[in-house]
């Protein structure tokens, strides 16, 4: 049901991506854009999912929350994660939909329209890429690990905290990547493409589906304090068990220490 809605919504995204220079774009905030594609995709998803599950609620990026029937689950929807990539013609973005029931994430779907990859998970039933079971990376040595992150940008994020963490983590890992779509970063952790991921300042629709994917693929997901208040604190650290544990210690050390001086431009 969710995958079908995502695939239907993706038809317009692929068309608009091919004509990205023609999109009408409005400012939503400093360096934060919303496109006609965002709004149209969200409207289609809400329509399709509402018809499939009448009475369910919605938490959505582009519009106000929709209250469902008492006790009903709700969808958490990001119609276009990686909007800035999309608007610059960079082929790395996704549709992300999760289902939350009684405060627990029970279903997560991340769909990449251009590669036609559907990452999905159900609570207690594992994580999957199409019909192939996903498992997080088996790497244990942090020096062999590839780690993803998000970088503060104009008007968003705490640059000093990020630099303190980066300063501590970077010498210990094989590489750090910033691709600009948190839902895909988490899906790729679940698939073992990345060994771990950390970022601050993300919204529930950015991470809800990805959290469940990583957990069902055998990984750990916490906030920076090692607790499960990722969404509440807008902090997320996800990864295979050993990389997660090692990175948790490094991040804790970084945040206890005084941030390093700013590098010259």
The confidence score (pLDDT) of residue 262 equals: 46
- How do the residues of the chain divide into helix, strand and coil, expressed in percent and rounded to 5? 40, 30, 35
Q: Grade residue 205 by pLDDT with cuts at 50, 70 and 90.
A: very high
Query: What residues does 135 pair with on adjacent strands?
Result: none
Q: Is the pLDDT of residue 221 over 70?
A: yes
Distance CA 93, CA 110 (A): 10
Question: End-to-end distance of the chain based on CA atoms, in angstroms?
Answer: 49
State in words which class domain 2-133 has: alpha beta
Q: What is the pTM of this model?
A: 0.91
Strand 32-35 and strand 235-239: the pairing is unpaired
Q: pLDDT-based confidence at 157, cuts 50/70/90? A: confident
Distance CA 80, CA 110 (A): 10
Residue 196 near residue 238, CB atoms below 8 Å: yes
Distance CA 169, CA 53 (A): 44
Contact 35, 70 (CB under 8 A): no
Cβ neighbour number for residue 229 with a 10 Å cutoff: 12
Do 45 and 9 contact (CB within 8 A), yes or no?
A: yes
- Token pair, residue 183, equals 């839902």
pLDDT at 263 over 50: no
263 or 220: which leads in pLDDT: 220
Q: Which helix (H) or strand (E) element contains residue 33?
A: strand 32-35
What is the pLDDT averaged over residues 38-59? 94
Average pLDDT, the chain: 91
Q: How far is CA 208 from CA 49, 234, 238, 252, 265, in A?
A: 17, 11, 12, 24, 35
Q: Which tokens in the block code for residue 94?
A: 């996704």
Give Cα 19 distance to the centre of its chain: 25
Asked whether the predicted pLDDT for residue 259 surpasses 50, the reply is no
Longest C-alpha distance within the chain, in Å?
55
pLDDT digits (tens, 9 = 90+) for 107-128: 999 999 999 999 999 999 999 9
Q: Which CATH class is domain 142-256?
A: alpha beta
Q: pLDDT, tens digit, for every residue of 192-202?
A: 999 999 999 99
Beta bridge partners of 132: 129
pLDDT bin (cut points 50, 70, 90) of residue 24 is low
In residues, how long is the chain?
265
In the structure, what pLDDT confidence band is assigned to residue 35 with cuts at 50, 70 and 90?
confident
Lowest-confidence region among 18-27, 45-54, 97-106: 18-27
pLDDT at residue number 18: 82
Q: What is the pLDDT of residues 76-110, one digit of tens each?
A: 999 999 998 998 889 999 999 999 999 999 999 99
Domain with CATH 3.40.190.80 in the chain: 142-256
> What pLDDT, on the 0 to 100 scale, is given for residue 142?
96
């Amino acid at each position: 049901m969710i995958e079908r809605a995502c695939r239907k919504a993706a038809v317009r995204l692929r068309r608009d991506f091919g004509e990205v220079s023609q999109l009408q774009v409005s400012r939503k905030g400093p360096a934060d854009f919303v496109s006609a594609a965002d709004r149209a995709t969200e409207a289609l998803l809400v329509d399709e999912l509402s018809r499939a599950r009448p009475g369910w609620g919605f938490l959505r990026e582009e519009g106000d929350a929709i209250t469902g029937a008492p006790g009903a689950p709700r969808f958490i929807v990001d119609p276009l994660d990686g909007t800035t990539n999309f608007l610059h013609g960079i082929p790395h973005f996704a549709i992300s939909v999760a289902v939350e029931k009684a405060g627990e994430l029970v279903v997560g779907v991340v769909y990449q329209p251009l590669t036609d990859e559907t990452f999905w998970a159900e609570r207690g039933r594992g994580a999957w890429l199409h019909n192939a079971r996903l498992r997080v990376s088996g790497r244990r040595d942090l020096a062999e690990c590839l780690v993803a992150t998000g970088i503060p940008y104009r008007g968003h994020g705490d640059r000093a905290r990020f630099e303190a963490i980066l300063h501590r983590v970077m010498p210990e890992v094989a590489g750090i990547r910033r691709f600009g779509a948190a839902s895909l970063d988490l899906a790729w952790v679940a698939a073992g493409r990345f060994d771990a991921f950390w970022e601050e300042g993300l919204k529930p629709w950015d991470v809800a589906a990805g959290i469940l994917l990583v957990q069902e693929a055998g990984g750990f997901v916490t906030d920076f304090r090692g607790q499960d208040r990722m969404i509440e604190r807008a902090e997320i650290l996800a990864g295979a068990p050993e990389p997660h544990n090692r990175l948790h210690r490094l991040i804790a050390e970084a945040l206890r220490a005084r941030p390093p001086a700013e590098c010259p431009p």
